[in-house]
């Protein structure tokens, strides 16, 4: 007479323990982000500006990773969509007196619509072809902004009103942190939905996804549109925080910086790029301040870090954290639970 054992109990226990550790880790990270401006030396205005840059880059990298990490499409035009949202919000405020808060939402909408059209035109392609087409669209948008100075002020720069009536960086920090949390929260909910399962299937094996009845173009366009819309929303914040816009905000070099942060943080995780962006931006900000005679030094740093990540830890910072977690809390096998005997 044989007995049937329940092998799912350890799995359920391990899953609950993993979820508990993940919740604790997320809570600690959120707490650190919220109290960081009150911890020296981040109480100073210069350091708080570095933190704002870090939170903004973190949100950019999350939007980028949503596409690169889940559907395996590198959007080399992301900075152009950031700039599109920035110029939309800035022009609405300057020419029509519309509140920057409303302008930010309008910027997200315009960037999302242009992203939708771009996705419909380009995402029937795959791999490098789709990435290059996105890059060409970004170059076209930057050229358009540069060549209509009567509207955008071109290279002279468009002065935009501030988002808040204060010169203190602390309120701006909490605004961009709120936008970062919204970006991560919304995109994480999408990833954990049925749509997210389709994204993963497409990113891992397009042929198998097609065979299972998934329409790849539809889900690719949904993903790309959401990424561009959040880029436009963040661009609106950029416009009304820095107060000046030039076509250089759309430059491909900015997309390369975002790409570097996303890959160093860990593709396909969302939280990895968000976490690693803060120390990276603080370090590069200090380098730019202390070594102003060596412009572009931050790009050298990104390049070195990318090489190290690709060679030694392709999964990035998120993979390193997962590896350390497994070493500190290894899975402990539990005795299977015996059930009633079967004849």
Up-side HSE of residue 337: CA atoms within 13 Å toward CB? 9
In a domain, 6, yes or no: no
In a domain, 178, yes or no: yes
281 in Cβ contact with 54 (< 8 Å)? yes
CA nearest neighbour of 62 among 217, 189, 167, 149: 189
Number of H helices, E strands in the chain: 14, 4
- pLDDT tens for the chain, 343 residues long, are 444 444 444 566 766 766 777 788 889 999 999 999 999 999 999 999 999 999 999 999 999 999 999 999 999 999 999 999 999 999 999 999 999 999 999 999 999 999 999 999 888 777 788 888 899 999 999 999 999 999 999 989 999 999 999 999 999 999 999 999 999 999 999 999 999 999 999 988 888 888 888 999 999 999 999 999 999 999 999 999 999 999 999 999 999 999 999 999 999 999 999 999 999 999 999 988 887 777 777 888 888 999 999 999 999 999 998 888 878 777 555 445 444 444 5
- pTM comes to 0.91
In a domain, 336, yes or no: no
What pLDDT, on the 0 to 100 scale, is given for residue 335? 47
In a domain, 76, yes or no: yes
In a domain, 268, yes or no: yes
Neighbouring residues of 119: CB distance < 8 A, sequence distance ≥ 6: 220, 221, 224, 225
In a domain, 64, yes or no: yes
3-state SS assignment for residue 264 = helix
DSSP class of 335: P
What pLDDT, on the 0 to 100 scale, is given for residue 14? 65
What pLDDT, on the 0 to 100 scale, is given for residue 46? 93
What pLDDT, on the 0 to 100 scale, is given for residue 8? 47
What pLDDT, on the 0 to 100 scale, is given for residue 200? 93
CB atoms within 10 A of CB 28: 10
250 in Cβ contact with 140 (< 8 Å)? no
What pLDDT, on the 0 to 100 scale, is given for residue 169? 97
Neighbouring residues of 73: CB distance < 8 A, sequence distance ≥ 6: 67, 123, 130, 131, 134, 220, 223, 224
Q: Which domain holds residue 41?
A: 17-331
Q: Residue 131 and residue 263: Cα distance in Å, rounded? A: 16
In a domain, 343, yes or no: no
State the pairing for strand pair 158-159/337-342: unpaired
Q: Residue 134 and residue 128: Cα distance in Å, rounded? A: 10
Q: Residue 336 and residue 211: Cα distance in Å, rounded? A: 37
Q: What is the DSSP string of 100-162?
A: HHHHHHHHHHHHHHHHHHHHHHHTTS-THHHHHHHHHHHHHHHHHHHT-HHHH-GGG-EE---
The number of domains in the chain is: 1
Tokens of 196: 């997210």
Interaxial angle between packed helices 271-290 and 8-35, expressed in degrees from 0 to 180 and rounded to the nearest 10: 30
In a domain, 342, yes or no: no
Q: Is 242 left (phi over 0), alpha (psi -120 to 50) or beta?
A: alpha
CATH number of the CATH domain containing 241? 1.10.3470
What pLDDT, on the 0 to 100 scale, is given for residue 332? 56
Task: For residue range 76-103, list pLDDT tens digits in order.
Answer: 999 999 999 999 999 999 999 999 999 9
Q: Please give the sequence-ordered ranges of beta strands (E in DSSP) within the chain, or none if there are none.
A: 2-6, 158-159, 244-245, 337-342
Q: Residue 28 and residue 13: Cα distance in Å, rounded? A: 23
């Amino acid at each position: 007479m044989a007995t049937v054992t329940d092998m799912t109990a350890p799995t359920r226990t391990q899953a609950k323990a993993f979820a508990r550790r993940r919740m604790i880790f997320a809570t600690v990270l959120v707490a650190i982000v919220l109290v960081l401006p009150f911890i020296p030396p981040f109480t100073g205005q210069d350091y708080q500006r570095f933190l704002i840059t870090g939170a903004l880059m973190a949100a950019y990298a999350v939007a980028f990773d949503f596409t690169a990490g889940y559907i395996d499409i590198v959007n080399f035009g992301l900075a152009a969509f950031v700039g599109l949202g920035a110029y939309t919000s800035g022009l609405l405020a300057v020419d029509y007196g519309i509140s920057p808060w409303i302008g930010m939402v309008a910027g997200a909408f315009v960037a999302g619509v242009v992203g939708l059209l771009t996705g419909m035109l380009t995402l029937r392609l795959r791999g490098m072809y789709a990435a290059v087409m996105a890059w060409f669209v970004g170059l076209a948008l930057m050229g358009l902004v540069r060549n209509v100075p009567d509207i955008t002020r071109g290279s002279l720069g468009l002065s935009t009103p501030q988002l808040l009536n204060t010169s203190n960086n602390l309120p701006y920090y909490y605004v961009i942190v709120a936008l970062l949390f919204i970006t991560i929260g919304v995109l994480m909910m999408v990833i954990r939905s049925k749509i997210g399962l389709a994204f993963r299937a497409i990113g891992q094996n397009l042929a198998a996804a097609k065979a299972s009845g998934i329409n790849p173009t539809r889900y690719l366009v949904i993903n790309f549109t959401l990424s561009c819309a959040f880029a436009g929303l963040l661009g609106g914040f950029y416009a009304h925080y820095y107060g000046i816009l030039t076509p250089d905000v759309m430059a491909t070099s900015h997309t390369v910086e975002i790409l570097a942060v996303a890959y160093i943080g860990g593709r396909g995780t969302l939280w990895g790029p968000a976490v690693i962006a803060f120390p990276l931006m603080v370090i590069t900000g200090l380098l730019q301040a202390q070594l102003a005679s060596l412009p572009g030094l931050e790009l050298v740093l990104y390049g070195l870090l990318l090489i190290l990540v690709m060679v030694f830890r392709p999964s990035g910072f998120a993979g390193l954290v997962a590896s350390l977690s497994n070493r500190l809390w290894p899975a402990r096998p539990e005795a299977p639970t015996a059930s009633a005997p079967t004849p």
